[in-house]
Amino acid sequence: MGDRNKMQGRLSAWLVKHGLVHRSLGFDYQGVETLQIKSEDWHSIAVILIEYGMDQPEEVCIKVFVPRGNPRIPSIFWFGKARIFKNGNLMICWELI
């Protein structure tokens, strides 16, 4: 059980807490958390990372596994909303994600 906790990072723990299917692949040599997901779960994970995110930006590696018979990964490009505080004012910006 102790080894499992070392393999599971902050994002993986958050996804487990919210019932999102993935597999933690541990960390690379630089300490970047690596997750495995299925292509059909990619949209859900991408939306969560962008819209709900974590407390602060951090690097994560996501490996999307696809079947050989249908090697397709859905696009995740869309316009996203960013909230920026500048000079005490809240600014809403749109960005291509």
pLDDT digits (tens, 9 = 90+) for 7-61: 789 889 988 988 889 999 999 999 999 999 998 888 888 877 777 665 556 788 8
Alpha helices, DSSP H, located in the chain: 2-7, 10-17, 42-47
- Chain-centroid distance of CA 34 in Å reads 10
Look up the domain containing 52 and give its range: 2-71
Q: What is the pLDDT of residue 1?
A: 43
What CA–CA distance (Å, rounded) separates 63 from 42?
10
Structural domains in the chain (count): 1
- pLDDT digit string, tens, across residues 35-47: 999 988 888 888 7
Is 63 a domain residue? Answer: yes
Q: What is the pLDDT of residue 95?
A: 54
pTM: 0.65
CB-side exposure of 89: number of CA atoms within 13 Å? Answer: 4
Is 55 a domain residue? Answer: yes
Is 86 a domain residue? Answer: no
